[in-house]
Amino acid sequence: MNQNYPLLNTITSPRDVKKLSFEDLDRLAQEIRQFMIQTISQTGGHLASNLGVVELTIALHRVFDLPQDQIVWDVGHQCYTHKILTGRKNQFTTIRQEGGISGFPRPQESVYDAFIGGHSSISISAAEGLAQAKKMQGDDHFVIAVIGDGALTGGEAYEALNNAARANAKLIVILNDNRMSISKNVGGVSKYLTLIRSRPGYLKLKHGVEITLDHTPLVGAKIKKGLIQSKSALKQVIYHSTLFEDFGLVYTGPVDGHNIKALCTMLERAKHMDSPVLIHAETVKGKGYLFAEEAPTQFHGIAQFDVDTGSTSKGTNHNFSSEFGQAIVQMAQKDKKICAVTAAMTEGCGLTQFASTFPKRLFDVGIAEQHALTFSAAMAANGMRPVFAVYSTFLQRAYDQIIHDAAIDNRHIVLAIDRAGIVGDDGETHQGVFDTAFLSAIPNTKMYSPCLFDELPMALNKAMYTDTGVVAVRYPRGGQPNLPQKLQTATTSYAYTGKTGKILLITYGRLFGEAVKASTLLGENGLQADLLRLVQIHPLLDDCVNIALQYDTIVFAEEGVARGGIGEHFLYELYSKGFRGQFALRAIPDAFVAQGTYKNVLKRLGLDALSIAQAATGDATWKKLD
Amino acid sequence: MNQNYPLLNTITSPRDVKKLSFEDLDRLAQEIRQFMIQTISQTGGHLASNLGVVELTIALHRVFDLPQDQIVWDVGHQCYTHKILTGRKNQFTTIRQEGGISGFPRPQESVYDAFIGGHSSISISAAEGLAQAKKMQGDDHFVIAVIGDGALTGGEAYEALNNAARANAKLIVILNDNRMSISKNVGGVSKYLTLIRSRPGYLKLKHGVEITLDHTPLVGAKIKKGLIQSKSALKQVIYHSTLFEDFGLVYTGPVDGHNIKALCTMLERAKHMDSPVLIHAETVKGKGYLFAEEAPTQFHGIAQFDVDTGSTSKGTNHNFSSEFGQAIVQMAQKDKKICAVTAAMTEGCGLTQFASTFPKRLFDVGIAEQHALTFSAAMAANGMRPVFAVYSTFLQRAYDQIIHDAAIDNRHIVLAIDRAGIVGDDGETHQGVFDTAFLSAIPNTKMYSPCLFDELPMALNKAMYTDTGVVAVRYPRGGQPNLPQKLQTATTSYAYTGKTGKILLITYGRLFGEAVKASTLLGENGLQADLLRLVQIHPLLDDCVNIALQYDTIVFAEEGVARGGIGEHFLYELYSKGFRGQFALRAIPDAFVAQGTYKNVLKRLGLDALSIAQAATGDATWKKLD
């Protein structure tokens, strides 16, 4: 810390927040804002959402006593101010780095992080569980869920709202309404929030009308007939006039989410109500940093940027997302039946161009992966060709729908699975390492894992026009590995270097880059290792199994979970066909994968070239000679 | 068909429904009701929900033109009248039988079944997809989602509602409000529906007030101040006064769901509105059969029953559900931290006694598996000991929450997974065959699969007090297999008969009964086959792998998917330890499993004793001598 942050320097725990005057708190907010902008400009991270909740976070820490009171952040990447105020200020520069603090709430990291929050729309459920447990143990502290209006497009939030009133626990829901998911928010509820936001009189009116009715014994005859006879019914109309009240919560707001004093007043009032309360706070995503306010989507999750100019270092490099975006636009130009579905990830999944070219064929359904899947399957049932573009980790939300709504009736949908494999900075909650296991266990599914850019449109094309059922094309964050020219022949089945030795390295996707290096490493030491690269990874191709049968030693390496993954299936097929040689599986072991650079994570997991080479020699200490 | 059903006899397609007068339609409804009661009393099936929608289904077929117009039923087990009216009257006695028609909508069965419907809360999503596809192809027919108020407790319904208005397609949602899930419906929305149902004036009032305001230029001074100045704001209050309107749909109702004429009028009106409409229909579950009206939960999904007395043949036999219910009550009596969570399955999961003994520790959250999981994980985070009792097939809904909310932070929750394995009559949509694969791929999980009743409380106890993280105890529908006395020793790890030969049969859970018979069969023919029964099926115990290493031939049999299942994991462990013998995996192959009796399904899948014995001999034609 330094002299730019005189007030922030004095904050070592949430208690220190309580000592400051409202004037000082406003200044503290500005210091935190500057501190975050400076730090994130160096480290990268989620900026816009965090700039939007500085005052809200300060107000919460002023009114409530953490960690006895608990806050659940939804989505969790808005927790930076919370981390700064709860003893992690000095570690803040390590955010999202290997060994550093997480960019999401992480209970293992701090007692102030009550619950995880990497995936959306869980906060009310979690808060109810935390609050219910407190209640049953005679602890009368509060649990607060802070949920964005974007997260309110996810179904679990409503499952929880439906249960909120019954809980009768010390539960406060804060709707952080910034009119955005990662991109502009969508749907009926979003419109509805606009309505109640845009009419300050709308809610005050309820009170006014009620008082008026109570104090009006005699009114004009027409009114008398229309209103007074139904006074109690009208009261119902009036009282139950917000969505949240329909679910049984007390609604209060909207309140300016950047006015600490007003927030504190409202929070204090909420503490004294009998039943669960929803506070509607209006915030501005990117607040206080003009570039982020103007382009919150660009400043959602960003790499390094220049504070003065707002220019981000995010290159315009090719990556698989952009390759997908380009390919699907080209396909859609020739085929009117192609539609794209996204769960609030138009930009992240590379669909920006599709959205502008075919606005009526792009369905951004909000953070609603379940709906996205069923909706896609139903579009397919009536003859369209939907592709659902989704991050691997978020597709987990639609697991049941893949089985039930798509696979059982063999609905032909294409899943464009982005961020498959190791994701780097986001850590445990965002690794795309389960899709290989969960999809391959489902009948009527097929999976491709391109390694080369050129393979992505080829696989998409095959998925769309040759295959049936649920067809997934999975590709990683970032680009293709650097490969020797001779290994750059694109295919949708497999690529094999031919039989020259007794060792075979099998892999798929981006990890092929490491396999090639491992082969070189082994070759330099007189061990000839051939390469088999799968593109169709499920179902396994007989040709691939037959190739592998010719070898004494096989190393199967994959960027996915070992248990239930492609390697295990491969071993089973091999074994059934009589293979009895050495088989080493290098995959993600039975543990969650923490944040770090791709390179470091590979090393940690034993998936880097040296580890693969060691697996081939059967010697974990083997190293390149010289 | 017979003389009892003069009108029904004339119906061969939905077109015939259109020819009848309303009086005849009412008589048709009574005939259908009698026909269903008679048939289901013989075959078993979902009775109460189907009796509730006879008139609604007739009205839909009268007003709409199927299959050009499409209906999505949610949950699908209310489709019996629909099946009877759409050419499946004569097959109706085969419902839920092997080779017969399904108890759920099944597009492969009939062009009139637009979409699948075995799992809850998907109908609005599906209808939107179907309708959107129609719209894009210039087809202006309607799609109607019929959703129960129970299904409205599931989050995906709200994801879809949030997208409904934007679709601007020919979409009609019918809320079939019978105040029930399988058991009594729960939550804020349920209360809300009661409110708008119980006040017929409540909604008419909206219109009345609006007209009154428009025609009242002069009113008393007090009113003037309170109301008229805010006339437009009040209109907003008034117009947006139902939950569904907040989501952007046009609300109409409530309408008596047993009045065909009234229903038809409302449906006709809905056809002429510009935007998606929600029709609120009130129905009575079990309507027309007194025993079912009085005890709709008992008559939800039933076995055979006596029509005259209403007495069901459902025995009071022990089964795993009741064993679980008894065990968890006993545990909860000693431990105040134990809570039970269920997603609208209190009865089905054996929690009736728990519910009455510990009403404050039983959380029925509605058909909301996602919420149930997160809620449980959060209760655990604050020191409680939650057990989430759930059918295997429905746990699929909470897959992401298991990973993200529970496993990453190693939250200690117990999953009591009922209906694990083959379920019989319900068929494809309800088989509990994926949990072994999807749970075992997740770090920080453990799984037990009791075969004996006594093992269930033992496993629960270990899960609750010895283990950490996500611990699942999975057990089948029904009871324990008949076993010789010497094989009835209960354990939570494994049971092994000792080494006497070169063949080892490995299995777990109920399927052990078949393995024992297979061993006998082989023994009678001079082939000594030993038995290894796993109770802890994940992670695999070293002891079990070491035992297996001693054998030349291993057959691993399981009632779960082959790919990613326990057998594949076992082979990998064996192989890594040097096993090179014969290994045959008998599990569920890469296809969905259709309805049938347990015994027949086992045969079909090659999981019966003979098939297991054949696998051990390596001869698929091998049969018992003599």
pLDDT in tens, B495-529: 999 999 999 999 999 999 999 999 999 999 999 99
Number of neighbours of residue A530 by Cβ within 10 angstroms: 20
Question: Which of A144, A374, A593 has the most B C-beta neighbours within 10 Å, making it the best mutation to test the interface with B?
Answer: A374
Number of neighbours of residue B498 by Cβ within 10 angstroms: 7
Evaluate if residue B238 carries a pLDDT over 60: no
Of B183, B172, B356, which Cα lies nearest the Cα of B266? B172
- pLDDT, residue B218, reads 46
Which H or E element spans position A624? none
Contact residues for A610 (Cβ-Cβ < 8 A; gap 6+): A518, A521, A623, A624
Q: Mean per-residue pLDDT for B27-52?
A: 94
Is A397 known to be catalytic?
yes
CB B626 within 8 A of CB B590: no
In angstroms, the first-to-last Cα distance of chain A is: 46
Buried b (16+ CB within 10 A) or exposed e, A231-255: eebbebbbebbbbbbbbbbbbbbbb
Is B129–A381 a contact, with Cβ atoms under 8 angstroms apart? Answer: yes
Compute the distance between CA of residue B511 and CA of residue B533 in angstroms, rounded to an integer.
10
User: Which residue in A218, A225, A237 is closest to B220 by CB distance?
Assistant: A218
User: Which residue in A188, A189, A443 is closest to B590 by CB distance?
Assistant: A443
Number of H helices, E strands in chain B: 26, 19
Chain A: closest CA distance from residue B563 (Å): 5
B contacts of A247 (beta carbons < 8 Å): 188-189, 192, 243
Is B399–A404 a contact, with Cβ atoms under 8 angstroms apart? Answer: no
Share of chain B above pLDDT 90, in %: 79
Is A400–B132 a contact, with Cβ atoms under 8 angstroms apart? Answer: no
Is A125–B378 a contact, with Cβ atoms under 8 angstroms apart? Answer: yes
Summarised one tens digit per residue, pLDDT across range B177-209 is: 988 766 676 777 777 777 766 554 444 544 444
Summarised one tens digit per residue, pLDDT across range B432-480 is: 999 999 999 999 999 999 999 999 999 999 999 999 999 999 999 999 9
Share of chain B above pLDDT 70, in %: 90
Of B583, B529, B595, B585, which Cα lies nearest the Cα of B560? B585
Is A222–B212 a contact, with Cβ atoms under 8 angstroms apart? Answer: yes
Contacts 24+ apart (CB under 8 A), A347-350: A347/A182, A347/A183, A347/A297, A348/A182, A348/A321, A348/A391, A348/A418, A349/A321, A349/A324, A349/A325, A349/A389, A349/A390, A349/A391, A349/A416, A349/A418, A350/A320, A350/A321, A350/A322, A350/A323, A350/A324, A350/A325, A350/A326, A350/A389, A350/A418
Evaluate if residue A224 carries a pLDDT over 70: no
Number of neighbours of residue B140 by Cβ within 10 angstroms: 10
Write down the catalytic residue from A33, A397, A411, A419: A397
A contacts of B375 (beta carbons < 8 Å): 125-126, 128-129, 132, 160, 163
Summarised one tens digit per residue, pLDDT across range A464-491 is: 999 999 999 999 999 999 999 999 999 9
Q: Mean per-residue pLDDT for A510-533?
A: 96
Which H or E element spans position A180? none
Is B212–A205 a contact, with Cβ atoms under 8 angstroms apart? Answer: no
Which residue has 């990874």 as its token pair? A537
User: Which residue in B219, B371, B404 is closest to A223 by CB distance?
Assistant: B219
Q: Mean per-residue pLDDT for A92-110?
A: 95
Alpha-helix residue ranges (DSSP H) falling in A227-351: 231-239, 243-246, 260-271, 290-294, 320-334
Q: Are strands A338-342 and A362-364 parallel, antiparallel or unpaired?
A: parallel
User: Which residue in B157, B219, B444 is closest to A219 by CB distance?
Assistant: B219
Is A188–B165 a contact, with Cβ atoms under 8 angstroms apart? Answer: yes
The nearest alpha carbon in chain B to A168 belongs to B360
B contacts of A339 (beta carbons < 8 Å): 136
Chain A: closest CA distance from residue B454 (Å): 30
- Asked if the C-beta of A339 comes within 8 angstroms of chain B's C-beta atoms, the answer is yes
User: Which residue in A121, A237, A405 is closest to B126 by CB distance?
Assistant: A405
- pLDDT, residue B314, reads 56
Summarised one tens digit per residue, pLDDT across range A407-430 is: 999 999 999 999 999 998 899 999
In angstroms, the first-to-last Cα distance of chain B is: 47
Chain B: closest CA distance from residue A405 (Å): 7
Chain B: closest CA distance from residue A454 (Å): 30
Is B156–A225 a contact, with Cβ atoms under 8 angstroms apart? Answer: no
Please, is A207 exposed, middle or buried when counting C-beta atoms within 10 Å of its C-beta (0-12, 13-18, 19+)? exposed
Is A154–B153 a contact, with Cβ atoms under 8 angstroms apart? Answer: no
- pLDDT, residue A215, reads 47
Is A235 known to be catalytic?
no
Residue B112: φ, ψ to 5°: -80, -15
A contacts of B184 (beta carbons < 8 Å): none
pTM (predicted TM-score)? 0.93
Chain A: closest CA distance from residue B602 (Å): 18
Tell me the DSSP string of B31-93.
Answer: HHHHHHHHHHHHH-EE-HHHHHTHHHHHHHHHHS-TTTSEEEEESGGG-HHHHIIIIISTTGG
Is B114–A154 a contact, with Cβ atoms under 8 angstroms apart? Answer: no
Question: Which of A128, A197, A375 has the most B C-beta neighbours within 10 Å, making it the best mutation to test the interface with B?
Answer: A375
Chain A: closest CA distance from residue B405 (Å): 7
A contacts of B366 (beta carbons < 8 Å): 159, 162-163
Identify the three-state secondary structure at position B18: helix
Question: Which of A72, A246, A391, A583 has the most B C-beta neighbours within 10 Å, making it the best mutation to test the interface with B?
Answer: A246
Q: Mean per-residue pLDDT for B416-426?
A: 95
Contact residues for B203 (Cβ-Cβ < 8 A; gap 6+): B196, B241, B242, B251, B253
Task: Give the full edge-to-edge strand order of the sheet including B250-256.
Answer: B70-74, B143-148, B171-177, B277-282, B250-256
Write down the catalytic residue from B31, B156, B369, B558: B369
Summarised one tens digit per residue, pLDDT across range A347-396 is: 999 999 999 999 999 999 999 999 999 999 999 999 999 999 999 999 99
User: Which residue in B133, B408, B575 is closest to A383 by CB distance?
Assistant: B133
What tokens does A216 get? 């009006």
Is B403–A434 a contact, with Cβ atoms under 8 angstroms apart? Answer: yes
- pLDDT, residue A435, reads 98
Which H or E element spans position B2? none
- Asked if the C-beta of A205 comes within 8 angstroms of chain B's C-beta atoms, the answer is yes
Compute the distance between CA of residue A44 and CA of residue A80 in angstroms, rounded to an integer.
12
User: Which residue in B375, B408, B438 is closest to A129 by CB distance?
Assistant: B375
Q: Would you call the peptide bond into B67 cis, given omega within 30 degrees of 0 as the criterion?
A: yes
Question: Which of B374, B394, B445, B447 has the most A C-beta neighbours within 10 Å, making it the best mutation to test the interface with A?
Answer: B374
Higher-pLDDT residue of A172 and A234 is A172
Write down the catalytic residue from A323, A369, A514, A558: A369
Give the A:B interface size as CB pairs under 8 Å.
448
Compute the distance between CA of residue A288 and CA of residue A51 in angstroms, rounded to an integer.
7
CB B478 within 8 A of CB B494: no
Of B613, B448, B455, which Cα lies nearest the Cα of B535? B448
Per-residue confidence band for A188, with pLDDT thresholds at 50, 70 and 90:
confident
Write down the catalytic residue from B397, B474, B510, B586: B397
Is B129–A375 a contact, with Cβ atoms under 8 angstroms apart? Answer: yes
Higher-pLDDT residue of A291 and A520 is A520
Is B285 known to be catalytic?
yes
B contacts of A552 (beta carbons < 8 Å): none
CB B569 within 8 A of CB B598: no
Question: Which of A128, A149, A400 has the most B C-beta neighbours within 10 Å, making it the best mutation to test the interface with B?
Answer: A400
- pLDDT, residue A313, reads 65
Residue ranges of B 70-109 with Cβ closer than 8 A to chain A: 72, 107-108
- pLDDT, residue B483, reads 96
- pLDDT, residue A187, reads 74
Identify the three-state secondary structure at position B251: strand
Per-residue confidence band for A231, with pLDDT thresholds at 50, 70 and 90:
very low
Cross-strand partners of A583: A554
Mean predicted lDDT score pLDDT of chain A: 90
Is A186–B163 a contact, with Cβ atoms under 8 angstroms apart? Answer: yes
Per-residue confidence band for B623, with pLDDT thresholds at 50, 70 and 90:
confident
- pLDDT, residue B201, reads 46
Per-residue confidence band for A505, with pLDDT thresholds at 50, 70 and 90:
very high
- Asked if the C-beta of B304 comes within 8 angstroms of chain A's C-beta atoms, the answer is no
Evaluate if residue A406 carries a pLDDT over 60: yes
B contacts of A191 (beta carbons < 8 Å): 165, 248
CA distances from A99 to A88, A459, A600, B404 (A): 14, 37, 11, 20
Compute the distance between CA of residue A181 and CA of residue A344 in angstroms, rounded to an integer.
7
Summarised one tens digit per residue, pLDDT across range B345-359 is: 999 999 999 999 999
- Asked if the C-beta of A399 comes within 8 angstroms of chain B's C-beta atoms, the answer is yes
Contacts 24+ apart (CB under 8 A), B546-549: B546/B577, B547/B496, B547/B499, B547/B504, B548/B504, B548/B506, B548/B574, B548/B579, B549/B574, B549/B577, B549/B578, B549/B579
Global ipTM: 0.93
CA distances from A530 to A489, A544, A548, B453 (A): 16, 13, 10, 53
Compute the distance between CA of residue A17 and CA of residue A12 in angstroms, rounded to an integer.
9
- pLDDT, residue A575, reads 96
Taking only Cα atoms into account, the Rg of chain B, rounded to an integer number of angstroms, comes to 27
Q: Helices B54-63 and B260-271, interaxial angle, to 10°?
A: 40
A contacts of B72 (beta carbons < 8 Å): 378
Cross-strand partners of B134: none
